[in-house]
Amino acid sequence: MSDTSEEQSPFGRGFIAASIVIGAVLLCGAVLLFGSLRSSGSAATPGQQQAAVQAEPRAVEPAAPATPVAGRSGASTGCNRAAGDQSVPQQPPAVDGWEVTSRIVVPRSSAYGPTKTDADGFRRCFAHSPTGALYAAYSAYAAMADQDKVVATARKLMLPGSDKDALIDELDADQSTSGYAVPQVAGYRVIDASADRVSLMLATSVNSAYMSLTLTLVWHSGDWLLQPPEPGEPVGAPFAQHRDLSDFVAWSGV
């Protein structure tokens, strides 16, 4: 079993990479490099740490391969992806290959996506399935690692609403960069999955240990978007420390 820590989160209001990718923090005697901390940032509570440590994946019965559903193709995004297999990925999904974006190694699949990459490198158009959401989460993490595009990334990646607006306002006010390297993703753990909403944890490798962050993706206008945090909260919370990957599915291209 993994050995997790319930210490107060070292992350402040800043996102992973100047409020979109996570800040530098001491972990197990080594410096964890996730991006820049906001000097005014508040830390996550021990209760949030506890939630990350104890959250169990909801039992979801694997479904038969789904047929395309009318109205889900997402004409506004130009994706036009079929829904595909709706089973929850309990084993490492098959990949067509791994590629590097913003120095992060991410998967690509003709079945799950992405099928489109914007001129600025933003990857989109993922399958409307839990596995498609998993692929989208890896790409979201990589997009957040580019500290020079935090505002543009937030505009494309975040689910529309007042929380997104508040995050963009904060990013516009503080576009500092850390210059730190961002850890590679080592594995994942699905916490909860439904047709249009998937919550999962991504484990990142930090020397001989691991740090996890939590992301929720919502199906909106034909693609998976990231649910932004409430104002003043860090993206990726709750966070937790892990000794190993025994509570995760190891899945990495490095």
% of the chain surpassing 70 pLDDT: 67
Give the C-alpha separation, 131 to 116, whole Å.
17
Tokens 């209001």 correspond to 13
CB 237 within 8 A of CB 11: yes
Mean pLDDT of the region 70-94: 72
pTM, full prediction: 0.74
The residue type found at 134 is L
| CA–CA dist 249, 190 (Å, integer) | 9
Buried b (16+ CB within 10 A) or exposed e, 91-129: eebebeeeeebbebebbbbebbbbbeeeeeebbbbbbbb
Label the pairing between strands 240-242 and 223-226.
unpaired
Contact 204, 183 (CB under 8 A): yes
Amino acid type, 99: E
- Range with the lowest mean pLDDT among 95-99, 148-152, 155-159, 189-193? 148-152
By the 8 A CB rule, do 127 and 114 touch?
no
Alpha carbons 251 and 254: distance in angstroms, whole number? 9
The pLDDT-based confidence of 100 (bands split at 50, 70, 90) is very high
Band (pLDDT 50/70/90 cuts) for residue 90 is very high
